[in-house]
Amino acid sequence: MVPTVPTGLAWPDEPLRRVLLLLGAALSLGSASQLPPYSRCKVTVHSSDDVAAWEYHSCQPQTTDLARYARIHVDPMDITCGKPPENICALENPYLCAECDVSMLGLSHPPHLMVDAEVPDTSTFWQSASWHRTHPEPLRANITFSWGREVELTHDVVITFQSRRPAALVLERSRDHGRSWRPLQFYADDCLEEFGMEQRRALDLLSEDVTKVICTEEYSGSFASKGIRTVRMEIQNRTALLAGPRLPPGRVSASPYGRMTANPALRDFLTLTDLRLSLLRPATGGTFIDKENLQKYHYAISDVLVPGRCQCNLHASECVFNAGRLACVCQHRTAGPDCSKCQRGFRSRRWRQGSYLPYPMGSANVCLPNNAISHAALWPSVSSVENKEHSSGTQVLNFIF
Ligand SMILES: [Ca+2]
């Protein structure tokens, strides 16, 4: 039995969770009976003698914490502390130090401690070497999460630092397994000086800026709270921009999912095979660099949360983790790790991605048997089958075996 990827952390249960996912706070919710049917992927089988009928809906897996299913790579190779053993000190107190040693259990801080289960009051964390190792060269580290397949971000990416938050970092994405990279968001204590960009907050984005790459100072600036250790990539603030104007209670927006489908730029922005966190400059507490105590400058991360789902082309409601890889459990007679082709014997028309459109039923775009076109008597009209199937909510597609 292949395990299903658990739903993970504290996202609301279905169907509320999926609505919150795309609508965010910008949309007033209707009653449960008014929730869009594409929040479910249900295949209902009615059978009588030799005739069986299916009911299809566009579908996708639930959101989970993808960081737990990633291969994690840190470079440069020797940037993790402890080889050779060294003392890492607190930024606020250079005499408050702890030894890091890869050969000692309890004193080592390997990368997997960024994605382990955190126990309250006990933090486990990855830790870099201190600036003492590389000074006067910059202290830099790249942390790459690789899934070996396409996944979609659905909620805010949250990075929790054990150290003070860095003075400069970039979150980047790749859709080609690390061959090329594009920025998702820049972070700096001074965006103009660090990246030549005006600082901006995700909250201030307009609907036409839904895929705009911004630089924000709210997590790195000198005004940033010393007690708060998280850095966010705000996904929900962006997807909420597509929800449209707030509607009176009891009314649901025409189709935020449809707007999502109709916005390939946003889908592209949120789709990736790899996520990279580039740490460019550690927190220094100001402009002065204490060269006598470089051990107090370093990076340490206790947790990385990457809420998202497998990209299954709206042809799967489940994604499983098997032999170290995530794979969609394809429906609609599709096949492949991401349901991107039709099953053998079901290729009478070109494969198509599922769609949330037309509203409200969406289009499953099922793969049809090889003889569906040639046997017009059994398949009176492929297009009418597709339309009826999703316009009425009742099943009309018959297979005869
Ligand atoms: Ca941890």
CB-count burial class (<10 Å; 0-12, 13-18, 19+) for 311: buried
**8 Å CB contact between 339 and 362:** no
Considering the domain architecture, whether residues 48 and 88 belong to the same structural domain is answered as no
Single out the residue in 277, 305, 333 at which a domain terminates.
Answer: 305
- Please state, as a whole number, how many other Cβ atoms lie within 10 Å of the Cβ of residue 381: 10
Taking the centre of ligand 1 as the mean of its atom positions, its distance from the CA of residue 295, in whole angstroms, is: 22
59-103 confidence digits (pLDDT tens): 788 889 999 999 999 999 999 999 999 999 999 888 999 999 999
Considering the domain architecture, whether residues 186 and 275 belong to the same structural domain is answered as yes
Considering the domain architecture, whether residues 52 and 198 belong to the same structural domain is answered as no
- Please state, as a whole number, how many other Cβ atoms lie within 10 Å of the Cβ of residue 117: 7
Is 8 part of a structural domain of the chain?
no
Considering the domain architecture, whether residues 396 and 299 belong to the same structural domain is answered as no
Considering the domain architecture, whether residues 52 and 97 belong to the same structural domain is answered as no
Is 5 part of a structural domain of the chain?
no
Which CATH number goes with the domain that contains 156?
Answer: 2.60.120.260
pLDDT band at 286 (very low <50, low <70, confident <90, very high): confident
Single out the residue in 273, 305, 337 at which a domain terminates.
Answer: 305
pLDDT band at 369 (very low <50, low <70, confident <90, very high): confident
Taking the centre of ligand 1 as the mean of its atom positions, its distance from the CA of residue 123, in whole angstroms, is: 6
Considering the domain architecture, whether residues 263 and 318 belong to the same structural domain is answered as no
Considering the domain architecture, whether residues 149 and 276 belong to the same structural domain is answered as yes
Considering the domain architecture, whether residues 242 and 204 belong to the same structural domain is answered as yes
Taking the centre of ligand 1 as the mean of its atom positions, its distance from the CA of residue 117, in whole angstroms, is: 6
Is 4 part of a structural domain of the chain?
no
Is 146 part of a structural domain of the chain?
yes
Mean pLDDT, range 348-362, rounded to an integer: 79
130-147 confidence digits (pLDDT tens): 999 999 999 999 999 999
Domain total in the chain: 2
Contacts of 204 (CB under 8 A, 6+ apart): none
Please measure the distance between the N-terminal and C-terminal CA atoms of the chain and give it in whole angstroms. Answer: 28
Is 2 part of a structural domain of the chain?
no
Q: Domain span at residue 331? A: 16-62+314-400
pLDDT band at 383 (very low <50, low <70, confident <90, very high): very low
Single out the residue in 305, 326, 360 at which a domain terminates.
Answer: 305
Mean pLDDT, range 232-236, rounded to an integer: 90
Which residue type is seen at 356? Y
Taking the centre of ligand 1 as the mean of its atom positions, its distance from the CA of residue 124, in whole angstroms, is: 4
Considering the domain architecture, whether residues 202 and 99 belong to the same structural domain is answered as yes
